[in-house]
Amino acid sequence: MDSLALLRDLCERFGVAGFEGDVRERLEELVRPHVDEIRVDPLGNLIGERQGTGGPTLMVDAHMDEIGFMVSYVEEEGWLRVVPVGGWDARIVASHALTILADDGGKVPGVFGTVPPHMLTQADREKPLTLEDAFVDVGAESADEVEELGIRVGSPAVIAYPFGQLDGANTVMGKALDDRAGCAVLVQVLEALAGETLEVTLVASFAVSEELGLRGAKTAAAQIEPDLALALEGTVAADVPGIAPARQPTRLGDGPAITVMDQTIVVSPVVVRALTDLAEAEGVPYQYKLPGVGGTDAGEIHLSGKGVPTGVVSIPCRYIHSPFSVMRLDDFENAVRLTTAFVRRCTEILPPAREG
Ligand SMILES: [Zn+2]
């Protein structure tokens, strides 16, 4: 499947943390032809395993979940109150359209209602918008009508807009590029390796609930017991007006980003060097992500078992953790090339096992 169609398909699926079923079903279809074994673990991680020639086990992770909301209360008059699932900036939520997952699996549209500007006092205008004050309108006039729609306390919701191309070519926008971009890279890496005999046992792990604290990756790594791992992310690009270059974690168009350190891991210099050397050898443009920003599943994976050398390759995305993010297809495709090269050649960087 071409990059654009794959990204569109994955981005538009519903996958709020803890409710990744829609994304998982599609990924299972896409991955099954390229692995020897595939399973869904008790927390909902999708794990596909491809046997190699007896070499070490390489875990490649991408998370399926996205940030969203959960219905926390239904007012008598039919308004919904919500709490965030994952890290939102409350100031940008007002007046956006929502998709709420109903009990029967259907999607119910809604909108974050706002008070018309005509009615605002000066004091109202200066008050920051908070999620505690936010209310969602689903067109219902009573709590009973909300119930008839299949919505209840606990229903998950997401701000949703259609996937699109900004410039008709290389720049795309969509919700949940964090981390459907990583999921799509992993799918394309498996496609690129079709028919090849690998030295490593390759385990593709599509994790749940990253946005709530790297939860799925923790149990996935515990059962995979990798010797080496790589996390794929859609990460913060901040190459926008008002942010000085020294504060831009990544930039669009400069290639996939290699993490040296973030809030969850200091990547082994051996892994950073290997990714850098591979990028150079393959002619793949790359950038280093500005140290100290964010965190990924690598944070949990590298602490599993007796410890796992783990790297992070990210696709720069502007506006992540907002209703839509913006990414360049050439960065995405270069992330596929770098990751594919890593799978083929990662055994060269593993230190020889130390005999006890
Ligand atoms: Zn992410």
Residues in the chain predicted with pLDDT less than 50, given as ranges, are 355-356
How close is the Cα of 84 to the center of ligand 1, in Å? 16
- Decide: 169 and 151 in contact? Cβ < 8 Å: no
Q: Facing residues of 201 across strands?
A: 57
Using omega within 30 degrees of 0 as the cis cutoff, is the peptide bond preceding 179 cis?
Answer: yes
Q: Give me the pLDDT at residue 352, please.
A: 57
Q: Write out pLDDT tens, residues 141-181.
A: 999 999 999 999 999 999 988 999 998 789 999 999 999 99
Q: Facing residues of 326 across strands?
A: 173, 318
Q: Give me the pLDDT at residue 140, please.
A: 97
DSSP 8-state assignment for residue 355: P
How close is the Cα of 235 to the center of ligand 1, in Å? 7
How close is the Cα of 230 to the center of ligand 1, in Å? 14
Which residues are known catalytic residues?
210
For residue 338, give the nearest of 275, 292, 295 by alpha carbon.
275
**In 60-74, which positions are buried (b, 16+ CB within 10 angstroms) versus exposed (e)?**
bbbbbbbbbbbbeeb
- Our measurement of the distance from residue 181's CA atom to the centroid of its chain's CA atoms, rounded to an integer in Å, reads 7
Secondary structure element (H or E) that encloses residue 188, with its range: helix 177-192
Helix and strand numbers (H, E) in the chain are 9, 17
Strands 257-259, 287-289: pairing kind: parallel
Distance CA 281, CA 284 (A): 8
Q: Give me the pLDDT at residue 325, please.
A: 95
Q: Phi/psi at 26 (nearest 5 deg)?
A: -70, -45
How close is the Cα of 320 to the center of ligand 1, in Å? 9
How close is the Cα of 343 to the center of ligand 1, in Å? 21
- Decide: 259 and 222 in contact? Cβ < 8 Å: no
